[in-house]
Protein backbone atom coordinates (compact mmCIF):
# COMPACT_ATOMS: atom_id res chain seq x y z
CA UNK A 1 0.00 0.00 0.00
CA UNK A 2 2.82 2.43 0.84
CA UNK A 3 4.56 1.57 -2.46
CA UNK A 4 7.96 1.21 -0.79
CA UNK A 5 10.16 -1.57 -2.23
CA UNK A 6 11.80 -3.80 0.37
CA UNK A 7 15.54 -3.03 0.80
CA UNK A 8 16.15 -6.72 1.58
CA UNK A 9 14.28 -9.97 1.04
CA UNK A 10 12.09 -11.22 3.89
CA UNK A 11 14.56 -13.81 5.17
CA UNK A 12 17.31 -11.16 5.38
CA UNK A 13 15.00 -8.76 7.22
CA UNK A 14 14.16 -11.53 9.67
CA UNK A 15 17.87 -12.19 10.23
CA UNK A 16 18.59 -8.46 10.75
CA UNK A 17 15.85 -8.17 13.36
CA UNK A 18 17.07 -11.25 15.25
CA UNK A 19 20.64 -9.91 15.18
CA UNK A 20 19.42 -6.53 16.44
CA UNK A 21 17.63 -8.14 19.38
CA UNK A 22 20.69 -10.29 20.10
CA UNK A 23 23.13 -7.35 20.00
CA UNK A 24 20.96 -5.37 22.43
CA UNK A 25 21.28 -8.04 25.15
CA UNK A 26 17.70 -7.10 26.04
CA UNK A 27 15.66 -10.07 27.24
CA UNK A 28 12.54 -8.13 28.26
CA UNK A 29 11.25 -5.40 26.02
CA UNK A 30 10.02 -4.84 22.49
CA UNK A 31 11.53 -4.75 19.03
CA UNK A 32 10.04 -2.15 16.71
CA UNK A 33 10.95 -1.65 13.09
CA UNK A 34 10.04 0.71 10.26
CA UNK A 35 10.31 0.72 6.50
CA UNK A 36 11.14 4.09 4.93
CA UNK A 37 11.69 5.44 1.43
CA UNK A 38 15.09 6.50 2.76
CA UNK A 39 16.97 9.82 2.72
CA UNK A 40 15.92 12.17 -0.04
CA UNK A 41 14.88 15.71 -0.94
CA UNK A 42 11.96 16.17 1.53
CA UNK A 43 9.40 16.30 -1.29
CA UNK A 44 6.13 14.37 -1.45
CA UNK A 45 7.34 12.01 -4.15
CA UNK A 46 9.78 9.24 -3.27
CA UNK A 47 11.43 9.57 -6.70
CA UNK A 48 14.05 11.85 -5.15
CA UNK A 49 15.05 9.25 -2.55
CA UNK A 50 18.10 7.13 -3.27
CA UNK A 51 17.25 3.83 -1.58
CA UNK A 52 14.59 2.51 0.82
CA UNK A 53 15.76 1.94 4.39
CA UNK A 54 14.87 -0.36 7.26
CA UNK A 55 15.15 0.92 10.84
CA UNK A 56 14.96 -1.25 13.96
CA UNK A 57 14.96 -0.21 17.63
CA UNK A 58 15.00 -2.35 20.77
CA UNK A 59 13.12 -0.79 23.70
CA UNK A 60 13.87 -2.26 27.11
CA UNK A 61 11.06 -2.67 29.63
CA UNK A 62 12.35 -2.84 33.24
CA UNK A 63 9.33 -4.85 34.32
CA UNK A 64 6.20 -6.37 32.86
CA UNK A 65 3.21 -4.09 32.84
CA UNK A 66 0.57 -5.12 35.36
CA UNK A 67 -3.13 -4.30 34.98
CA UNK A 68 -4.07 -0.92 36.47
CA UNK A 69 -7.49 0.69 36.30
CA UNK A 70 -8.19 3.79 34.23
CA UNK A 71 -10.83 6.21 33.00
CA UNK A 72 -11.59 6.86 29.32
CA UNK A 73 -13.63 9.47 27.48
CA UNK A 74 -15.48 9.43 24.17
CA UNK A 75 -13.14 11.04 21.65
CA UNK A 76 -14.20 13.89 19.39
CA UNK A 77 -11.29 13.22 17.01
CA UNK A 78 -12.43 11.79 13.64
CA UNK A 79 -11.27 8.25 13.03
CA UNK A 80 -9.03 7.43 10.09
CA UNK A 81 -10.73 6.04 7.00
CA UNK A 82 -10.50 2.24 6.64
CA UNK A 83 -8.21 2.59 3.63
CA UNK A 84 -5.50 4.17 5.77
CA UNK A 85 -6.08 2.04 8.85
CA UNK A 86 -5.14 -1.34 7.37
CA UNK A 87 -1.41 -0.84 7.94
CA UNK A 88 0.84 0.76 10.53
CA UNK A 89 2.22 4.06 9.25
CA UNK A 90 3.52 7.39 10.51
CA UNK A 91 -0.01 8.79 10.14
CA UNK A 92 -0.53 8.68 13.90
CA UNK A 93 -1.68 12.26 14.44
CA UNK A 94 -5.32 11.19 15.06
CA UNK A 95 -4.08 8.59 17.57
CA UNK A 96 -1.89 11.15 19.33
CA UNK A 97 -4.69 13.73 19.45
CA UNK A 98 -7.08 11.14 20.89
CA UNK A 99 -4.59 10.31 23.61
CA UNK A 100 -4.00 14.00 24.39
CA UNK A 101 -7.75 14.68 24.47
CA UNK A 102 -8.18 11.92 27.02
CA UNK A 103 -5.38 13.24 29.22
CA UNK A 104 -6.76 16.80 29.03
CA UNK A 105 -10.03 15.44 30.44
CA UNK A 106 -8.40 13.57 33.30
CA UNK A 107 -8.54 10.21 31.51
CA UNK A 108 -6.02 7.71 30.20
CA UNK A 109 -7.13 8.01 26.58
CA UNK A 110 -10.12 8.55 24.30
CA UNK A 111 -12.39 5.96 22.71
CA UNK A 112 -12.85 6.30 18.97
CA UNK A 113 -16.24 5.88 17.29
CA UNK A 114 -16.80 4.96 13.66
CA UNK A 115 -19.05 6.85 11.24
CA UNK A 116 -22.10 4.96 12.54
CA UNK A 117 -21.39 5.72 16.19
CA UNK A 118 -20.08 2.28 17.11
CA UNK A 119 -16.91 1.69 19.13
CA UNK A 120 -13.99 1.58 16.72
CA UNK A 121 -10.82 -0.50 16.69
CA UNK A 122 -10.34 -3.88 18.31
CA UNK A 123 -7.67 -6.37 19.29
CA UNK A 124 -7.38 -10.04 18.44
CA UNK A 125 -7.81 -11.57 21.86
CA UNK A 126 -10.77 -13.68 20.78
CA UNK A 127 -8.55 -16.76 20.41
CA UNK A 128 -7.28 -16.41 23.97
CA UNK A 129 -10.74 -15.54 25.26
CA UNK A 130 -12.00 -18.93 24.04
CA UNK A 131 -9.97 -20.46 26.89
CA UNK A 132 -12.12 -18.52 29.35
CA UNK A 133 -15.25 -20.02 27.80
CA UNK A 134 -13.82 -23.51 28.24
CA UNK A 135 -13.18 -22.78 31.93
CA UNK A 136 -16.63 -21.29 32.52
CA UNK A 137 -15.45 -17.70 33.06
CA UNK A 138 -17.23 -16.48 29.91
CA UNK A 139 -20.48 -17.74 28.44
CA UNK A 140 -19.30 -17.12 24.88
CA UNK A 141 -17.19 -14.99 22.54
CA UNK A 142 -18.62 -13.02 19.61
CA UNK A 143 -17.55 -10.09 17.46
CA UNK A 144 -20.14 -7.42 16.59
CA UNK A 145 -20.83 -3.70 16.65
CA UNK A 146 -21.13 -2.11 20.10
CA UNK A 147 -22.73 1.29 20.72
CA UNK A 148 -21.50 3.74 23.34
CA UNK A 149 -24.63 3.16 25.42
CA UNK A 150 -24.21 -0.61 25.36
CA UNK A 151 -20.49 -0.38 26.05
CA UNK A 152 -21.09 1.71 29.14
CA UNK A 153 -23.40 -0.99 30.51
CA UNK A 154 -20.71 -3.68 30.34
CA UNK A 155 -19.81 -5.68 33.44
CA UNK A 156 -16.15 -5.25 32.50
CA UNK A 157 -14.28 -3.17 29.96
CA UNK A 158 -10.59 -3.11 29.15
CA UNK A 159 -8.05 -1.67 26.75
CA UNK A 160 -5.73 -4.22 25.13
CA UNK A 161 -2.57 -3.47 23.17
CA UNK A 162 1.13 -4.13 22.85
CA UNK A 163 2.06 -1.05 24.86
CA UNK A 164 -0.30 -1.71 27.77
CA UNK A 165 -1.14 -5.43 27.48
CA UNK A 166 -4.40 -5.25 29.50
CA UNK A 167 -5.73 -2.10 31.17
CA UNK A 168 -9.12 -2.34 32.93
CA UNK A 169 -11.49 0.57 32.32
CA UNK A 170 -13.54 1.50 35.39
CA UNK A 171 -15.09 4.75 34.11
CA UNK A 172 -16.20 5.90 30.65
CA UNK A 173 -17.07 9.59 30.58
CA UNK A 174 -19.31 9.97 33.67
CA UNK A 175 -20.43 6.32 33.71
CA UNK A 176 -18.88 3.86 36.17
CA UNK A 177 -18.19 0.52 34.48
CA UNK A 178 -19.41 -2.52 36.41
CA UNK A 179 -18.43 -2.34 40.06
CA UNK A 180 -15.91 0.43 39.40
CA UNK A 181 -13.03 -1.96 40.10
CA UNK A 182 -10.84 -4.31 38.10
CA UNK A 183 -12.77 -7.45 37.23
CA UNK A 184 -11.71 -11.10 37.00
CA UNK A 185 -11.80 -11.28 33.19
CA UNK A 186 -9.16 -8.55 32.81
CA UNK A 187 -6.78 -10.41 35.10
CA UNK A 188 -7.53 -13.72 33.39
CA UNK A 189 -6.82 -12.27 29.94
CA UNK A 190 -3.62 -10.69 31.24
CA UNK A 191 -2.47 -14.08 32.54
CA UNK A 192 -3.30 -15.72 29.21
CA UNK A 193 -1.38 -13.08 27.24
CA UNK A 194 1.70 -13.52 29.45
CA UNK A 195 1.51 -17.29 29.06
CA UNK A 196 1.16 -16.94 25.28
CA UNK A 197 4.20 -14.64 25.18
CA UNK A 198 6.29 -17.11 27.17
CA UNK A 199 5.15 -20.44 25.79
CA UNK A 200 2.92 -19.85 22.79
CA UNK A 201 3.22 -21.89 19.58
CA UNK A 202 6.67 -21.90 17.87
CA UNK A 203 5.10 -20.26 14.82
CA UNK A 204 4.85 -16.97 16.73
CA UNK A 205 7.99 -17.22 18.86
CA UNK A 206 11.57 -16.89 17.61
CA UNK A 207 14.65 -17.92 19.63
CA UNK A 208 17.23 -15.15 20.01
CA UNK A 209 20.92 -16.18 20.32
CA UNK A 210 22.20 -13.95 23.14
Closest among 76, 154, 161, 156 to 113, alpha carbons compared: 76
> Is 99 labeled as catalytic in the residue annotation?
no
Active-site annotation holder among 3, 71, 80, 88: 88
Query: From CA 103, how far away is CA 108, in angstroms rounded?
Result: 6
Task: Tell me how far apart the alpha carbons of residues 150 and 84 are, in angstroms, rounded to a whole number.
Answer: 28
| DSSP state string for 33-87 | EEEE--S--SSSSGGG-SS-EEEEEEEE-SS------EEEEE--SPPPPGGGSSS
Catalytic residues: 88
Amino acid sequence: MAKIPLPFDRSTIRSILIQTASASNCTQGSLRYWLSVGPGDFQLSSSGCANPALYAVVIESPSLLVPSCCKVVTSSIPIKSPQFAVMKSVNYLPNALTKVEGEENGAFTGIWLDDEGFVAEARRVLTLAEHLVAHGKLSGVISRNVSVQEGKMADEMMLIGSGILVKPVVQWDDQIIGSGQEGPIAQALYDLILEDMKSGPPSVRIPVPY
